[in-house]
Structure 1
Amino acid sequence: MKRTRATGWIFSTALFFLAQGARAQTVTIPVETRNNALVFQADANRNVGIVYMGARLQDKNEYALATGMYKQTSDYSGVANAAYATSGTRNLFEPALSVTHVDGNNSLDLQYVRHESKQLDNNTSLLSIYLKDPVYNFEVTLFCKSWFNEDVTEQWSEIKHNEKGKVTLHKYASAGLYLKASSYWLRQYHGDWAREMQPEEAKLTHGIKTVDSKLGTRANLFQPSVFMVSLDKPATEDEGTVLYGALEWSGNFRVDLELDNRDNLRIMAGINNYASPYTLQPGEVFTTPAFLSVLSTKGKGAASRQLHNWARNYKILDGKGTRLTLLNNWEATYFDFNENKLKELLKDTRKLGVDLFLLDDGWFANKYPRNNDNAGLGDWGENKKKLPNGIATLVQEAQQNQVKFGIWVEPEMVNPKSELYEQHPDWVVKQVSRPEHYFRNQLVLDLSNPAVQDFVFGVVDNLFTKNPALAYIKWDCNAVIYNAHAAKLGNQSHFYVQYVQGLYNVLKRLRAKYPTVPMMLCSGGGGRVDYAALQYFTEFWPSDNTDPLERIFMQWEYSYFYPSVSMSAHVTDWGKQPIKFRTDVAMMGKLGFDIVVSHLKEKDLQFCQEALKTYESLKPVIWQGDQYRLQSPADHDVASLLYLNEARSRGVVFNYLVNNRYEAGSVLPIRLKGLDAKKRYTLKEVNVFPGTSSGIDSSKSYSGEFLMTVGFNPDVKQGRNSVVIEIKAVD
């Protein structure tokens, strides 16, 4: 047989693996955090599997003994617990990676070569596991980054090859997990506009449960990419073993949860391979997004607090910093405003007592004025009729009123009725030969095109160049992708992936030039939030539904995965509740207002002004404190939630009546959590409406033990449907 360069590589690689095989032995690779362990193992045949995921053991040697304690059906393949399952060889279940090689072969067998661990700092470690196919010049590196104190891990992979041509990746998940328990309970979410984060929980049955999105943008609109899996029984706030999972990716995602014939659960998460086979050139590295997970053996509350700490310290932009309270003009004016009307609103901003005025949609476009959502999107020049002196005059007016100025943009989108659409039809995502189909009367710009990336960057950059004092950006994204086609993209199957990569390129450029400017991540509500995007944004908009009763339920579910410092919550005219109820609910996140200040009654305005002062005092606890969910709105007449500082010396409890049936209220005391049992605490009602008094005696003190064992009754009832209590330790 004539020996080619390719066969020479195969021959030399085969010799390498034979030599390795002669001395192969089991290699156990634990990733340990303060409370947990994820343990990989390379067996004698160099198959890398997951042999343990659970509470950390004191003796590391015992991890290798765990699988022997399970007397289950034989693993026919020998790779059922694969850390990164492949297709075309022995794997009998859903693969993480599926490829077609240059010669048309569809098989892949990734075998252990070596691993290395690095201590990145005193809290963060990085494990790299190197895998290689013994037949094809194809390699994968598995990464597992762990944060010791927070019990959080991120997993991702790097895929590359040096074959003599293009290799096609048909599926390319970020990572896989392998769990053993008697049963598994999935808590997932669904929704639509104004109905985000609706929870469902069910026992997983045999086969595959897939949670995914094919929307391209606003990827979380119907199904968010976050989930929980409880082991053995549904976890509660304080009991049970539960795994949180989240993919850090702002486009199409896919999570497969497969219960196999041995009653073990395989979880794989990554970019959705729907309509996206990816062609990989020789030497090119494809890096998957990170899959985030946190495991708790003490219930859902402990998992969320660990995740919140990690997010504030390591992921969310300026997660330990402050935020700006604001007044938004949207519900006061919608598209109908002019310079004089906005100047009056700027005076109201100062009068109310917030930090910033936010100018929303409708300030731009001239040939096709942005007077409704049918036109103008993409034409980012100030509308000369509405704003004859431009944005600069409003920024100056804000400074004169001693407030800051922010502005709304939606730079990824375009209306067909716009100059941009007329001038650059090849920048628009659409099928040329098919009728256009619109979402909110708009289409999506092709961010896989570098010229479009430059344009989108320029939209924001130009605003800052012309207005250096601009202090805030609300970045919206209202459309999904129909008729996916990119005019300038050679391989259309790369579009969904390269769109998101293009978005990140723009955001990286903006943050390199404007590293500290606060930006809100909005997507017609909560249609896009994830931890990849939150690296570039200080906060996100959970929903356009600002009815405070609805928001209690939504923010409750969001709070499992995202801390309050990242969650924008505005007081609006949605709902039938009084201004106190609306303000109290919004104070659980990053407070803002979207109301007509001049229409407020005297006492309502006085209440808002005083509440803002109270919020200024309490926001360090709300934003940076530990969150304890005391009573769920889904299961009780009264919803109750506590924020507590690290020293356990100060906290705030929000209590809301969520059931209007006869005599509904806080009949029983509400048990607090997280306090120091030996300390004594006073409880004082705050946000008391002008002209009313509180029945809570703030001069009394209670032991932490009493408040956590017996509890405290905030006396929530009809006519007293929102009660906020500040807790302070007695010196």
Structure 2
Amino acid sequence: MQFQYPKAVGLNIFKKAQMLFLPAFFWCGTQVMAQAKVIVIESLHNAIALEVRADKRVGLIYFGTKLADRNEYQKISPARRQSEDYSGILNSAYTPAGSRNLVEPAIEVTQADGNNSLDLQYVSDQTQQLDRHVSLTSIVLKDPVYAFQVMLYYKVYADDDVVEQWSVIKHTEKKNVTLQKFASANLYFSSNSYWLKQYHGDWAREMQPQEAELTAGIKVLDSKLGTRADLYQPPSFMVSFDQAASEDEGKVLLGSLEWSGNFKIDLEVDPIKNLRLIAGINPYASAYSLKPNEEFKTPAFVYTYSEHGKGNASRNLQRWARDYKIVDGNGPRLTILNNWESTYFDFNEPKLAALLKDTKKLGTDVFLLDDGWFGNKYPRNDDRAGLGDWQENKAKLPNGIGYLVKEAQANSVKFGIWVEPEMVNPKSELYEKHPDWVIKQPNREEYYFRNQLVLDLSNPKVQGFVFGILDNLFTKNPKLGFVKWDCNSVIYNAYSTYEKNQSHLYIDYVKGLYSVLERLRAKYPKVPMMLCSGGGGRVDYGALKYFTEYWPSDNTDPLERIFIQWEYSYFFPAIASDNHVTDWSKAPIKFRTDVAMMGKLGFDLIVSKLNEKDLQFCQQAIQTYQGFSDVVWHGDQYRLLSPWKNDLASIQYLKTDKSKAIVFNYLVSNRYDAGSKLPIQLKGLDANKNYLVKEVNLYPGTRSAIQDDAVFTGDYLIKVGINPVVNAGRASVILEVDEVR
């Protein structure tokens, strides 16, 4: 097949071009050239190959399992043929708009002279070895006409098969250039079919999955909420190739944008049936005016690829997050007793002092005082007033937070506190004094989300105020042991009195938030902090790098949480997931506690109202949990039975040396005779080791249906399995599997 490039392209030296066939995973979409420069980026198992053509344009030619011989990436382009790509840049490593591009761009600009075109050509590349396991490849591209360049970065965490990809955009034109779109990553795939698993939801309905085949055209995942950006849809997703991947089989990419504001993921099946994936900040209402020599750095898009199913891919991300992203990912965690669902806004000093004693009685590490502790002129007795006025409420706390911190110390526990520093109630002293600090249109009626508005974090003065809220708490109370950072509102009527260019607001807000968190972590690097946003409205690695954990959902019904936590676990490790035992559900206390143990255990109930056996069980459960929590927090997770397809859910955590496993089993169906009919096959064990299997966390007065001295080979447990005997009378069963030495 022959293909003639347009003369204007300046490629007449190529009289004939051999079109390229689909590679195992990528098509290069370029002309064949003798010994074209190929940039190879490899991890432990995978590789990305980019080809620099004679016209200096860079295209993705391979993404998949790495080749044994690095020199053979040169052979990929000549070996492939496919239908015509009229533009010649469908597989561009970073697709510009306005020149020869015919599809969705990764970058779109308005030049200083008003021209809307951009062309990006190769200048140079280099790879740095940052440490034994991490490398950074950078590729410099520039426009041959305008003084405009883009630097592409690929940070590879080799052992985890994880890549973080971002871009840095700058120019040296005489006047400002306007960025209309500015993606973090532009990937290109070829396959027979593509299957997208995405998520949707709302408050108390987080992480509802949908999976479907992608068809011709563009599928867009996005948010325009400004803050609490994940409320309807998170920036995390999966793409399977050839067919929908299963837990242990199939080719799959897991990806997530590290950004806490508006995001946009474009998935375009192009005219020749390849898939273009473009991920980055949502350019909606966010045209960004870039000054000469100013750099615009996009947030990282993190992804991992596996040819062994979704489970292997998720373990890659979980390991990476523990090692490199979340605060103290390989350290311990504290168990919390929170007062929110036991008191809501109705508390005082004596009531809290009693709850502090209950914290010690229960055996938890931290008492967390939630919303309602502040405001005097406008007391925070409900969610309609006081937010923004961060002085202790004198009626509720006459002796202040300091008294409670000392009481916690006297009871041998830590004291933690809730804040929502980004928001303000119109009924507050802060709003009265600084209406110019509030995001709102000057000539429009105010519209509230949970009776509140958002403070303008693009303003450095507001950033200083928000930092001061936390700094003052720590300065006055150096023994403060935990912070829950909430964010309940979205941005309506977006307008900033500080911003000269209103289209900068959505982006500068998030940058301002990160600036505050950077300052906070620089001064208080070790304090455990929970990332909360009315539930899971802000669960992304852009924010999580400042936190030890996140709150998946305000929905603490254990049955609902099984499904919610199941889906979150594909992208985030168990150590980061705060799971509390509450009175939301009428399920037995054992079921509620067992589900909460599948992550970071906590409690949010009235300890004094527990009956004797329930209290005894909770106290024993905390001790039991302390015995195996290290495996849950730092081990490898294997999903054994999906709650979406079975009467029960089964999830296993395995210590990295394969010496210990914890298996959680939950009944999720109330149909007649529902339960575990067959043994459940375990995963990841050493087939040559012997293992003792026993049931743990039994309710007082009950006996296990599992033989407590049963020893099996790893081979047996992998191939045959163990029946946990889950049924209506045993709705939750935790098995401990220990190597017999």
TM-score class, shorter-chain normalisation, is over 0.9
What's the counterpart of residue 9 of structure 1? Answer: none
The match for 1:512 is: 522
Aligned residue in 1 for 2:225: 215
Q: Distance in 1 between matches of 2:80 and 2:368?
A: 59
CA distance in 1, matches of 2:196, 2:464: 42
Query: Cα distance, 1:261 vs. partner?
Result: 1.0
SS in 1 for 2:663: strand
Which letter does structure 1 place at the counterpart of 2:208?
Q
Contact 2:195 2:239 in 1 (8 A): yes
Q: What do residues 362-398 of structure 1 show as CA deviations (whole Å, max 9, x unaligned)?
A: 0000000000000000000000000000000000000
Aligned to 2:143: 133
Match of 1:523 in 2: 533
The residue number in structure 2 matching 1:3 is none
Counterpart of 2:63?
53
Aligned residue among 459, 475, 478 for 2:469: 459
Task: Find the counterpart in structure 2 of residue 365 from structure 1.
Answer: 375
2:564 aligned residue: 554
Shift of 1:68: 3.9
Task: Give per-residue Cα distances to partners, 1:530-560, cap 9 Å, x unaligned.
Answer: 1111110000000000000000000000000
Instruction: Tell me, yes or no, if structure 1 residue 570 matches structure 2 residue 543.
Output: no
Give the equivalent residue in structure 1 for 2:426: 416
What's 1:66 paired with? Answer: 76
Contact 2:258 2:542 in 1 (8 A): yes
Query: Which one of the candidate residues 432, 440, 451 is aligned to 1:441?
Result: 451
What residue is the counterpart of 2:249 in the other structure? 239
Structure 1 residue 148 and structure 2 residue 153: aligned?
A: no
Match status 1:684 vs 2:677: no
Question: Secondary structure, in 3 states, of the residue corresponding to 1:702?
Answer: strand
Whether 1:331 aligns to 2:336 is no
Which whole-Å CA distance do the structure 1 matches of 2:226 and 2:264 have between them? 12
Pair 1:169–1:112, CA change in 2 (3 A): same
Match of 2:273?
A: 263
Secondary structure class of the residue paired with 2:718: helix
Rounded Cα–Cα distance in structure 2 between residues aligned with 1:210 and 1:416: 35
Please tell me whether residue 479 in structure 1 is matched to residue 489 in structure 2.
yes
Query: Who is 2:554 aligned against?
Result: 544
Contact 1:347–1:401 (8 Å) recurs in 2: yes
Match of 1:492 in 2: 502
Q: Please state how far the C-alpha of 1:334 moved relative to its aligned partner.
A: 0.2
Q: Decide whether the 8 Å contact of 1:25 with 1:43 is kept in 2.
A: no
Give the structure-2-normalised TM-score.
0.95
Give the aligned partner of residue 394 of structure 1. 404
Cα RMSD (Å): 1.0
Cα distance in 2, alignment partners of residues 390 and 41 from structure 1: 64
Alpha-carbon distance, 1:25 to partner = 6.5
What are the ranges of 5 or more consecutive residues in structure 1 without an aligned counterpart? 1-13, 15-22
SS of residue matched to 1:149: helix
Match of 1:319 in 2: 329
Equivalent residue number for residue 660 of structure 1: 670
Is the 8 Å Cα contact of residues 326 and 358 (structure 1) preserved in structure 2?
A: yes
Equivalence for 2:350: 340
The answer for unaligned runs of 5 or more in structure 2 is 1-9, 11-32
Equivalent pair of 1:568/1:590 in contact (CA under 8 Å): yes
Q: Write the distance in 2 (CA, Å) between the matches of 1:253 and 1:400.
A: 46
| Aligned match of 1:77 | 87
**Is the CA contact (8 Å cut-off) linking 2:184 and 2:280 kept in structure 1?**
yes
Q: Deviations over 1:8-62 (max 9, x none)?
A: xxxxxx9xxxxxxxx9962100110111001111111111110000011101222
Superposition map of 1:11-22 within 5 A = none
- 1:461-486 deviation line (CA, Å, top 9, x unaligned): 00001100000000000000000000
* Distance of 2:705 and 2:222 partners within structure 1: 50
CA contact (8 A) 1:524 1:543 kept: yes
Q: Distance in 1 between matches of 2:397 and 2:562?
A: 38
CA contact (8 A) 1:327 1:592 kept: yes
Deviates more, 1:578-587 or 1:33-42: 33-42
2:192 paired with 1:185: no
Map of 1:559-598 to 2, 5 A cutoff?
Answer: 559-598=569-608
Deviation at 1:69, TM superposition (A): 3.9
Q: Give 1:705's aligned amino acid.
A: D
Q: Does residue 709 in structure 1 map to residue 719 in structure 2? A: yes
1:630 aligns with 2:640: yes
Which letter maps to 1:190? H
Matched with 2:286 is 276
Of residues 398, 413, 417 in structure 2, which corresponds to 1:407?
417
Select between 633-642 and 66-75 the one with higher mean Cα deviation: 66-75
Which residue number in structure 2 is paired with residue 253 of structure 1?
A: 263
Distance apart, 1:700 and its partner CA:
1.6
Distance in 2 between the 1:313 and 1:700 partners? 36
Aligned to 1:346, the other structure's residue is in SS state: helix
| Corresponding position of 1:609 | 619
Aligned to 2:29: none
CA distance 1:696–1:25, shift in 2 (3 Å):
closer
Any idea what the Cα deviations from partners look like across 1:539-590, whole Å, max 9, x if unmatched? 0000000000000000000000000000000000112210000000000011
Residue in 2 aligned with 1:17? none
Partner of 2:341: helix, strand, or coil?
helix
Cα 1:67–1:262 change in 2 (3 A) is farther
* CA distance in structure 1 between the aligned counterparts of 2:624 and 2:61, rounded to whole angstroms: 51
Q: Which runs of 4+ in 1 moved over 4 A?
A: none
Structure 1 residue 70 displacement after superposition? 3.6
- Answer yes or no: is the 8 Å Cα contact 2:36–2:74 preserved in 1: no
- Structure-1 separation of matches of 2:250 and 2:333: 35
- State the match for 1:86 in structure 2: 96
One-letter identity of the residue aligned with 1:228: M
Measure, in 2, the Cα distance between the counterparts of 1:285 and 1:561: 30
- TM-score, normalised with respect to structure 1: 0.96
The answer on whether the counterparts of 1:174 and 1:268 sit within 8 Å (CA) in structure 2 is yes
- Quote the Cα distance in structure 2 between the aligned partners of 1:682 and 1:197: 36
C-alpha distance in structure 1 between counterparts of 2:76 and 2:197, whole Å: 27
Comparing 578-587 with 59-68, which one deviates more in the overlay? 59-68
Q: 1:229 aligns with which of 239, 242, 247?
A: 239
Q: Which amino acid aligns with 1:263?
A: K
Report the counterpart of residue 671 of structure 1 in structure 2. Answer: 681
Question: Deviations for 1:246-290, whole angstroms, at most 9, x for unmatched residues?
Answer: 100000000000001111000000000000000000010000000
Q: Secondary structure of the residue that 2:76 maps to in structure 1?
A: helix
| Distance in 1, Cα, partners of 2:709 & 2:176 | 75
Matched, 1:102 2:112: yes
Contact persistence 2:35–2:74 (CA under 8 A): no
Alpha-carbon offset, residue 194 of structure 1: 0.1
Selected match of 1:170 from 169, 175, 180: 180
Shift of 1:319: 0.4
Query: How far does residue 223 in structure 1 lie from its aligned partner after superposition?
Result: 0.6
Structure 2 counterpart of 1:564, which letter?
A
The separation in 2 between residues aligned to 1:350 and 1:458, in whole angstroms, is 31
Q: Look up the match of 2:4.
A: none
SS at match of 1:279: strand
